[in-house]
Structure 1
Amino acid sequence: MPFSSRPVVAGSLAVTAALALTACGSSDSGSNSGSDGSGSSSSDGTHTVATAMGDVKVPVAPKRVVVLDTAELDSALTLGVTPVGATHTGTESGFLGYLPKDDVAGIEDVGELMTPNLEAVAALKPDLILTSRIRHGDVYDELSAIAPTVMTENTGYPWKENFQVHANALGKVPEAEKAIAAYDKHVGEVTEALGGKEKAAATEVSVVRFVEGADIRVYGRRNYIATILADVGLGRPAVVDKAKDGFSYDVSPEKIDQADADVVLHSTYGDAKKSKETQTVGSGLWKNMGAVKNGRVFPVEDELWIQGIGYTAADRILDELQADLTT
């Protein structure tokens, strides 16, 4: 999947300021500011959110939210909002397994992520729909006829910026500021646990994803997981700079040794054999990599590390990253 090249906002102060500006700057003119920090509202109980499809009027406090992608689901749950409907991924578990069962209980499944059932969406009578143009821009007119639809341009790499849009649309700016501050604090704790900034920077980490029906992906610098590694201050091997559009550098099993680094994290999407995982990790090239010989290769859950995309996922990833790299 392509990912946007928009820059990520770094640091809690910068992001908090951006959240405040987004909330206030996107509100209807001539209206009064709300006391909850979510920005101004008009007399009809709506405020205006800047989206990839233009300005959209949404309820100040939406009650029936439908989310059509994993990032939007993570954002909503992070902000204390339980959607009435959500799409499922291609995984057997439906909603991603890292999400607490109690949090997703009662959410109506409205179809597969790339092909949501619009009749099922409409039946839920939503007052807000969250998604991105790259996923569902082709059905924007149909979605916006059902309910106000807030689309970000992309998913993955610009997840922090997207979270700001989601928070503004949901009327949850104060909650977003708390989530961002907690993330920044957690990042700092992990960096210190790894021995500080200099030691973290000296540890090169490679992220490999085995994908059914595609080449093996060595993740570059412009994707969700790369932003977390960068926030912690970890180094990356030189091969990541070969990544197309910064997203991934794709290799065959016969070139997997190019993914070698001090630490190799790997996940699998789909069947282990069909994704070439079984073939690759059993090969001499894999077994002779430095990270393998040094016991610095760690399998990670694809649903969490790659598909989740949000602050709830990031919190879990940081815990696992610290556990793996301090063993």
Structure 2
Amino acid sequence: MPPPLSRRAALAGLGAVLLAGCGPHELPAAPPLPGTAGGSPPPSPSPSPSPTPSVTVDGADGPVAVPGGATRVITLDTAELDSAITLGIPPVGAAKAPLAPGLPDYWPASWLARIAVVGDIGDPPDPVAIASLRPQLILSNRTRDAAHLNLLRGLAPTVLTQTTGAPWKENFHLHAEALDRREQAAAVVAAYARHLDQSGRALAAAGLTGQHVSLVRFVEGSPTVRLYARQNFPGSVLADLGLPRPDPQNTDQFAVETAPDQLARADGDVLFYAGYGDPDRNGLNAALASPAWRTLGAVRAHRAFPVDDRLWFQGIGYTGAHFLIADLLHILGAG
């Protein structure tokens, strides 16, 4: 197997394209931050946000009155983080995945440095940390924070989607309503459609449209290997690209759990894999050294590639999707 590709190297060119707002795939520019130009760091939070007329948003827990044009936003999952920054409103605070070293790093480091980490996704929120940021709006989902809704609404208007992952496009529209950014959302959706069209043509030109793509994730704390099916973020992006899936993963469910000694079910023409948590504890290192892994057709054909977990499996949203597609094209030699 060839050495793992560096995601930073693979995406360095695309990052410049995103920040410049132009390029061969017509990707959208990285959203201008309030009060800044281009990709410069976001401003310090204003000391006292001005009152704004409220708008009513129909979240998963009913109507919520939120301030129109809210800029002091807290996001408590990665999809909400992607939506907010994509729409030009970097949050003042965000929660990170519990076993991740920080927020998803496909965003410029200078932007992330100005976002306070307020805790881990799914943990009980820290009311002191959140209140200190004087939020006008909190975004999350019921999967993570249904049990914490009363606490959160005591801190700021809180809008939850029903879940996260597979319905990321529908959730994005709810986030756009809450952030009062409907016009910007329409532009984001149109840019993604253009990117899909151009990427599909690039895959076809490279003769890759019939390749069955396997998605494999090793998760710390799980005794099984997770084969991602269609009802999740990366699976939906592959579907948008028209790429078929191996039979065990070609199902309308989130994932198929398989034992480490049954890795044959993970095979495909192309295999992308990632680990969440420590590679010695999530089973990744053991799997890569096992006979079951070495006998996979994708591995023997040098078509098994490590990818960044914080992008492919945590980067839920339109900007994450753009980077995932660019990463995929680069790895397969179609970009």
Query: What band does the TM-score fall into relative to the shorter chain?
Result: 0.7 to 0.9
- What is the match of residue 310 of structure 1? 317
Alpha-carbon distance between aligned partners in 2 of 1:102 and 1:172, rounded to the nearest angstrom: 23
**What runs of 5+ residues in structure 2 fail to find an aligned partner?**
1-50
Report deviation, 1:112. 1.4
Q: Is residue 200–residue 232 contact of structure 1 (8 Å, CA) maintained in 2?
A: no
Report the count of equivalent residues.
Answer: 282
AA in 2 matched with 1:123: S
- What is the match of residue 203 of structure 1? 211
Alpha-carbon distance between aligned partners in 1 of 2:77 and 2:214, rounded to the nearest angstrom: 26
Q: State yes or no: 1:176 paired with 2:185.
A: yes
Q: State yes or no: 1:76 paired with 2:84.
A: yes
AA in 1 matched with 2:285: T
- What is the match of residue 102 of structure 1? 110
Q: Is residue 217–residue 250 contact of structure 1 (8 Å, CA) maintained in 2?
A: yes
Choose from 229, 242, 257 the match for 2:238: 229
Report deviation, 1:282. 1.4
Sequence identity (%): 41
Counterpart secondary structure, 1:307 = coil
- What is the match of residue 31 of structure 1? none
Alpha-carbon distance between aligned partners in 1 of 2:220 and 2:142, rounded to the nearest angstrom: 25
Report deviation, 1:309. 0.4
Counterpart secondary structure, 2:149 = helix
Q: Is residue 193–residue 326 contact of structure 1 (8 Å, CA) maintained in 2?
A: no
- What is the match of residue 284 of structure 1? 291
Superposition TM-score, scaled by structure 2 size? 0.80
Report deviation, 1:296. 0.8
Report deviation, 1:63. 2.4
Q: Is residue 77–residue 103 contact of structure 1 (8 Å, CA) maintained in 2?
A: no
Choose from 62, 66, 70 the match for 1:62: 70
- What is the match of residue 217 of structure 1? 226
Report deviation, 1:125. 1.7
Counterpart secondary structure, 1:146 = coil
- What is the match of residue 111 of structure 1? 119
AA in 2 matched with 1:146: L
Counterpart secondary structure, 2:313 = helix
Superposition TM-score, scaled by structure 1 size? 0.82
Alpha-carbon distance between aligned partners in 2 of 1:306 and 1:211, rounded to the nearest angstrom: 11
Root-mean-square deviation (CA, aligned residues, Å) is 1.8
**What runs of 5+ residues in structure 1 fail to find an aligned partner?**
1-42
- What is the match of residue 142 of structure 1? 151
Alpha-carbon distance between aligned partners in 2 of 1:82 and 1:54, rounded to the nearest angstrom: 25
Choose from 90, 94, 109 the match for 2:98: 90
Alpha-carbon distance between aligned partners in 1 of 2:278 and 2:92, rounded to the nearest angstrom: 31
Alpha-carbon distance between aligned partners in 2 of 1:302 and 1:143, rounded to the nearest angstrom: 28
Counterpart secondary structure, 1:150 = strand
